[in-house]
Chains A and B, each alone.
Chain A
């Protein structure tokens, strides 16, 4: 573990297509009567093993439905794998859909505390980062207005500012960032590059081999839940390009 930030050990993830998503008794009874509840298994991940060293930037590629999101969720600790285990070291900050932790009746200031608390930080820690977050989010005097009065750009700027100010050890980037206007986007890209320079471990999900080659030094490919390639970013990207052609 010492050198690895993430260890994914023989992880398999099974879903039951029929019983999941059933959230009321009527549907449950109907499906039980039709004996549809315990059949049709679906393995979203099949025996996936790899590890990410500290400071590595790992690109995760694969076609739609290959299991990328499922893999990220098991690493983030949101999903528990059916078989196998995931070990991680340090704080993981997911940068996917930044607005998830917010409450619309709360002011921007209160939301900063709430959001950071959800990510498991102490009050003291957040207070230290507070001015930095407000400054970076460019919200100024609006910070005390309730969140429901914010535009979507303001919300995502605030979310981005919090997630990156807390200096996580592992940063999960799902798809390319499209936060705010052009100027803010440039500012946020710079910020992420700066974090990478500081030895943060990055998991980067993308379909674009160009951006994976630019950002990552390692990469993996998933196909129908299986790990088909794991190695240096440029070699894996080459392979991925061939796969796209064959498809």
Chain B
């Protein structure tokens, strides 16, 4: 039975309170270090802040999920273990993990705390998901954004855990947990340092005609015309000239956001247990607007009413949205 839980992002304590007040069933967050995949400057929680956040959320019936969803470099597991120890001590409701070593540590040390498998683990087949369930007691898998709804329905029949899918936000569906594009240009790893396109390597340059170039580590990865909407400065969403496309084109992905508001009933029917909103790096304004909109939509659907979701296009990357692979494998 799908409960259609709403899993919401928080990059700061204020954002967490905003998400809770806007109707989140659970909020996910991370510490101020490499243990999570949004290790951005000035973002995330100290242990003291997380303690207060857990108290605030639990007092209002909201769960707190701690993202420990990066991969420790070989032999350097202490930071991740310490983060797990701290999270367990503070009473988080689940850990979101990608690395098997981290999963194994938590399963052995804190068997009473739920393990959720991060999208960063890129587990997209029943065999892979069952492996994590059987060996580490994973209770929920966050599916990569590469599956159609019929495929999700089929997977649900073949696995012993809950399914969580993204429903809104960044549509970065490179091989998650395996992408090395940032590492190639900056030397920092999305998967081990938790930074995709680190801000310290990003520069925006305004040209005389009003165009804007976004650069990463000195490489121009896109150039937006004076009236053109912009996107994140990530290599996977860069626009490149090639011999067969000298005018420049999006070689990997496009600046566009996922929005599955119209597919919520189908996802519930397919057995999806929880809906994830991406965006720990976004503002309280984004959290408030998106969580409220999806809270109302999910409540309408549960009550048998037609959901009339707010127009969220203004909050999308490049002011474009897609249903991606959830609608069809041919989405690009």
Q: Real complex partners, A and B?
A: no
List residues of chain B with CB under 8 Å of any chain A CB: none
